[in-house]
Structure 1
Amino acid sequence: MATVGGGCFWCTEAVFQEIKGVEKVVSGYSGGTVPGHPTYREICSGLTGHAEVVQITFDPNVISYEEILVIFMTTHDPTTLNRQGADRGTQYRSVIFYHDNTQKVIAENVVKEVAKYYEDAIVTEIAPLDVFYEAEKEHQDYYRNNQNQGYCSFVITPKLAKLRKLHADKLK
């Protein structure tokens, strides 16, 4: 299992739903300082400290954790602090929440490796996963259920085009 945040979870979820070996993608929240299960409205305030993340269940016989992270690091901008495009705030930070020390080492190595391909410094946070809170039902499968909505058309669809160009060999 992998837990990552690269801005709006609708975008990240849509990306990983297209990857071979990914069995399930759940949108949610992690990394906050406020106790209890946060709501989307609370997250959007930026006051809880949580990031919008996705939790990815994958078959390691088909795709590795390292490959998941390479896809993650190349389908969002890991060089912008607390924002992705027009989405701004700590809830939109670039973050990898590792589940164990092996994932931590892999995350550090992937970030170091992909840094060569970016002009600006990578600001992706690497932190231990404490708690994952599943987001409300309306945030699950968001792109699949709302493809004609403006945000999906103007933000997510181009991100998926980039995914298809960079990682065609990894698509379902």
Structure 2
Amino acid sequence: MSEEAPKTPKVRKPKAPAADAAAPAADAAAPVVAPVEAAAPERKEITAKELLGEDIGEIKVRRAKGSKNITVGICHILATFNNTKVTITDASGNVISWGSAGRHQFRGSRKSTAYAAQVVCQEAAKLAMAHGLKDVSVRVKGPGMGRDSAIRALQVLGLNVTSILDTTPIPHNGCRPPKRRRV
């Protein structure tokens, strides 16, 4: 172990001499040829899977026992400042699956993150896909951070998002807002 191979010092190779300094008259006689530029690589479209930056692998969906065989549904996403809740229903409003950040072991300030919303939406969508869900209409409510990442999570799983509707309630000078925080 104490035997080490002798280290060889790194030798820098000398640069090639400048050719244009040696023959300036040859440049004047030679025709000017523009350098050929390499073809620009084609830009490929960025998929939702690449946007999320997570390799979720092959999506395996098992049919739920006593599955309802619902192909079209509505995904209700409630993204508040403190939590993200996802409910997937059929067209008439019957709940197929649901999820919230607290249900998936996110506690405190981690519940309001975009990653928590992504996990919640993926799990609720997997349960709904076990009942045969393929097309989903998304209704988003609230100003939270998980709005966009929840929708992207649905698309990555392979659900066809047919429409996105913002149902955030906006007051027309209704209730008095809470007092401003003093920190």
TM-score range, shorter chain: 0.3 to 0.5
Q: Point out the structure with the larger helix share.
A: 1
Larger Rg: 2
TM-score by length of 2: 0.31
Instruction: Report the TM-score when normalising by structure 1.
Output: 0.32
Greater RCO, CA 8 A, separation 6+:
1
